[in-house]
Amino acid sequence: MIRHLFKLIWNRKKSNFLLITEIFFSFMVLFAVLSFVVHNVRNYTKPLGFTHDNVWLLSMRPSSDSAALNRQNLEQVLQRLKSYPEVANISLTSNNAPFSFSITSNAMTYGQVKDVQADYYEVQDDFQELMQVPLKVGRWFGPQDDASNHEPIVINQQLQEKLFGNEPAIGKLIPITDSSSYQVIGITEYFRGAGEFASDAPAMLTRINFAKRQDKFWESLLIKVKPGIGVAFEERMVKDISGITGDWNLEVSMLEKMRKAKAKVTLVPMLGLGFVCAFLILNVALGLFGVLWYNISRRNSEIGLRRALGAAASQVYWQFIGEVLVLATFGLLLGVFFAAQFPLLEVFQVDTEVYLIALFSAVFLIYLLTAACAFYPSRQAAAVQPAVALHEE
């Protein structure tokens, strides 16, 4: 029977070509959208590697060009903030604070492993307590690092695997220049500062040695306030700081708000694509349904004939479903061939697993869609009385 179906389809290849093309394109669109969605959903379900309850970000843009004066003001600001009973913790950070829209990365080379790109975060000792960064192995930064000859870093598991494979990483030295190097002191499982939809990419945190780096200035400051502290305090705090800094440009944002803003950047296109895709699939389904309906009604006399020759209604029914599924298979084979190029050629930095999930789901959905579209027309076909069907010519 399968052979018979193939023959029928082959002999009707001209009219089937359109259907196969349609199935092919819907598969490709579905595959692309599903890859995007699966990629993001998988990222979303991974831990961030920190918590941000009651954490605010204070951004400071000095107006003066005098580095010394700015530095002096910054020290006063830190002093002032530490004195508030409402503030639990503070930590300076590089501009790529969690959920911010900026990215800093650093190429790391260790032995044979060259130029591994890692997200690069600068933080102070209090950052761990402030953001509750869990460590898997090793320790966090502390005053003992002041005396260290190397620059201590905490890395995430991704970076550990990329640089050291299965070897233990604690204590390992990674050259920065000929005379200096990083030393791994701690490992955290995850650190995805770029937000919930960011990939679990290699990341490293370095220690801000505020006292030692007299020349440097940091514009971003994370402030953890005690529970229940709100806008009233924010206003008072900004006013106080303005008193110190004069006409610096100050801005306070809550990390929770930043998280939402950051998530929107992914969610909005995802929803948009989802809608477009749903609309497209609906169109394809309607088109497919129409074509199948038309094909089957055109073949009424063939149906009557098959019944006259001894086909049971159920055989006619399954023949039509079978034909559509074979057609879908052709479209899908073509689609899978093209879709497989994405993981094979590593077009985007997306896990192969994501592609596989998207591929299988897309195949399954297309089969489901075609079978669903074929269901009703095929049932109609099978229900036709043979004498009536033969009558129509």
Partner 1 sequence: MIILSNIEKVYQTKTIETVALQQVNLAVPKGEFLSIMGPSGCGKSTLLNIMGLLDEPSSGTVSIGGQEIRSYKDKELAHIRNEKIGFVFQSYHLVNDLSVLDNVELPLLYRSGVSASERSKRAKIALEKVGLSARTKHFPNQLSGGQRQRVAIARALIGQPEIILADEPTGNLDSVMGEEIMNILLDLNRHDGTTIVMVTHDENMAKKTERLIRFFDGQQVSDAKVYANLQQV
Nearer to partner 1, 59 or 315 (CB): 315
Nearest to 179 by CA among 149, 145, 209, 147: 149
Q: How many residues lie near ligand ATP (CB under 6 A)?
A: 2
When the beta carbons of 211 and 309 are compared against partner 1, the nearer one is 309
347 or 388: CB nearest ligand ATP: 388
For partner 1, the binding residues in 13-72 under the rule CB under 8 A are none
Decide: is 326 part of the binding site for partner 1 (CB under 8 A): no
The CA distance from 178 to 181, in Å, is 8
Q: Are 187 and 135 in contact (CB under 8 A)?
A: yes
Interface with ligand ATP includes 312 (CB under 6 A)? no
For the segment 369-388, give every residue that binds ligand ATP (CB under 6 A).
Answer: 388
**Binding track, positions 330-369, relative to ligand ATP; x by CB under 6 A:** ----------------------------------------
Phi, psi angle pair for 232, to nearest 5°: -60, -45
CA distance 374 to 289: 7
Burial of 7 (0-12, 13-18, 19+ CB in 10 A): exposed
Region binding partner 1 by CB under 8 A among candidate stretches 252-260, 262-270, 328-336, 379-387:
379-387
111: left (phi over 0), alpha (psi -120 to 50) or beta: left
Element (H, E) at 293: helix 255-298
Give the nearer residue to partner 1 in terms of CB position, either 88 or 390: 390
Build a one-symbol-per-residue string for 288-317: x at contacts with partner 1 by CB under 8 A, - elsewhere.
-------------xx-xxxxxxxxxxxx--
Query: 198-228 as b/e, with b when 16 or more CB fall inside 10 Å?
Result: bbbbbbbbbbbbeeeeeeeebbbbbbbbeee
For ligand ATP, the closer of residues 312 and 388 by Cβ is 388
Which of 3, 65, 149, 231 lies at the binding interface for partner 1 (CB under 8 A)? 3
Nearer to ligand ATP, 199 or 380 (CB): 380
Question: Which H helix or E strand runs over 369?
Answer: helix 352-383
Q: Report which of 258, 280, 243, 265 is spatially closest to residue 366, judged by C-alpha positions.
A: 280
Query: Site residues (CB under 8 A) for partner 1?
Result: 1, 3-4, 7-8, 11-12, 301-302, 304-315, 385-387, 390, 393
- Positions in the binding site for ligand ATP (CB under 6 A): 388, 391
